[in-house]
Every structure is written in structure tokens, then in C-alpha cells.
């Protein structure tokens, strides 16, 4: 199902949007909903799926009415760069922890 959704998304982006980029759903969010929300919080999968559907409709409406562009344009360029750098540093931090270069210590917050 994920591969089929990826193929359809790529075709639609290239043929309809005239923006030939590869699109694919993230499998990390699937794992989050399956293990953290459904199993961890004891929420039925039907309820979780309905929540994802509602969030998708809201995001679609925000995009169609160009509200998303207004919000993004309201953010200063320096703040956008800082957010990107912060996310990159966070990902690097997680990778360094996973590689054992950064380890937990009682005297620090890490």
C-alpha cells in the first residue's frame, strides 16, 4: 500500500502539478500511530485513523485557501534559517547518541 501510494503521488506531482519531484509517505509516522497512540494510549485504530483523516482535511483546506502560504510568508527569513539549523542539529544530536559518541551523564542534561 505504501509503495502504491508513493507511485501514485509521484505520477500526480509530475503530470498534474507539473512539479516532477518524488513524494512518499513517511513510515515513521505509521510506527508512531501504531505503537505510541494505538498501543501506548489504548486508543482504537479506527479512532486514530479518523483523527489522521480530520487532520489531513484541515491541512488540505489550509493549503487550498492559501492560508499556509500566508503563515510561512509571515515568518522572517532569519527565523526560517534558525529553525532549519536547529532541526539539523537535533538530528545530528540523535545520530551521535545512536552512534555512542554522546552518552548520558548524571551531571549534565544529556
pLDDT in tens, 12-22: 888 988 887 87
34 vs 47: CA distance, rounded Å: 12
Domain count, the chain: 1
Is residue 6 domain-resident? no
Is residue 38 domain-resident? no
**Residues 20-29: pLDDT tens digits?**
787 776 677 7
**Residues 43-96: pLDDT tens digits?**
999 998 898 899 989 999 998 999 989 999 999 999 999 999 999 999 999 999
Is residue 5 domain-resident? no
Is residue 98 domain-resident? yes
Q: Could you tell me the pLDDT band of residue 32, with boundaries at 50, 70 and 90?
A: confident
| DSSP collapsed to 3 states, the chain | CHHHHHHHHHHHHHHCCCCCCCCCCCHHHHHHHHHHHHHHCCCCHHHHHHHHHHHHHHHHHHHHCCHHHHHHHHCCHHHHHHHHHHHHHHHHHHHHHHCCCCCCCCCCCC
Is residue 39 domain-resident? no
Is residue 93 domain-resident? yes
Amino acid at each position: 500500500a505504501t509503495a502504491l501510494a508513493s507511485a501514485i503521488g509521484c505520477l500526480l506531482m509530475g503530470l498534474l502539478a507539473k512539479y516532477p519531484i518524488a513524494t512518499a509517505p513517511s513510515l515513521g509516522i505509521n510506527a508512531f500511530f501504531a505503537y505510541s497512540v494505538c498501543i501506548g494510549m489504548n486508543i482504537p485504530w479506527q479512532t486514530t485513523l479518523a483523527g489522521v483523516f480530520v487532520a489531513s482535511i484541515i491541512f488540505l483546506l489550509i493549503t487550498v485557501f492559501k492560508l499556509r502560504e500566508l503563515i510561512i510568508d509571515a515568518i522572517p527569513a532569519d527565523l526560517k534559517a534558525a529553525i532549519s539549523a536547529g532541526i539539523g542539529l537535533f538530528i545530528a544530536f540523535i545520530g551521535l547518541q545512536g552512534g555512542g559518541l554522546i552518552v548520558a551523564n548524571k551531571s549534565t542534561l544529556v
